[in-house]
Amino acid sequence: MQLKITSNPAVEQRLKTYPFNIQKKLYYLRQLILETASETEDVTIIEETLKWREPSYLAKKGSTIRIDWKPKTPEQYAIYFKCTSKLVSTFKVLYPTQFKFEKTRAILFDLEEEIPVKALKHCIQLALRYHQVKHLPLLGADKVNT
């Protein structure tokens, strides 16, 4: 089934407010989120909106994913997850050396860092299906270190 994206025009406006080099990084994260959603069998609709002035993505049975860059940490940008979920703590077990984490809320990327795409897409997929898998050990994921 084709993925349906419902998008708030304010997201595009917000993305254009970032410095150009940051825009490219955030558009890439956006592309990975939407690509992963389209590859995830039980995700048919994804909502793109703003939450806390950050581009945010939500699937019906998932947990909100947000992306942002903050001027106070100009050399990094991040993908955020609900801090009360088991998502980031699970990512730390699955990918202990592939990512840098901010407590229980984010995966951080340096501006010049090459993103481990396969691992990040796996994390995104777990977030998109979170309410279906939150009761499973490691959210139903096998422990892999790719």
Helix residue spans in the chain (DSSP H):
9-15, 20-39, 87-94, 117-128, 130-133
Per-residue model confidence (pLDDT) at position 141: 86
55-113 per-position pLDDT tens digit: 999 999 999 999 999 999 999 999 999 999 999 999 999 999 999 999 999 999 999 99
Band of the pLDDT at 1, cuts 50, 70, 90?
low
DSSP state of 27: H
7-46 per-position pLDDT tens digit: 999 999 999 999 999 999 999 999 999 999 999 988 999 9
- List % helix, strand, coil for the chain (3-state, nearest 5): 40, 25, 40
Band of the pLDDT at 145, cuts 50, 70, 90?
very low
Per-residue model confidence (pLDDT) at position 44: 94
- 55 phi and psi, to 5 degrees? -55, 130
Where is 47: in which H helix or E strand? strand 45-51
- Asked if 32 and 75 touch (Cβ cutoff 8 Å), the reply is no
Question: Domain 4-137 belongs to what topology?
Answer: Aspartate Aminotransferase, domain 1 (3.90.1150)
How open is the CA angle 141-97-36, to the nearest 5 degrees? 45
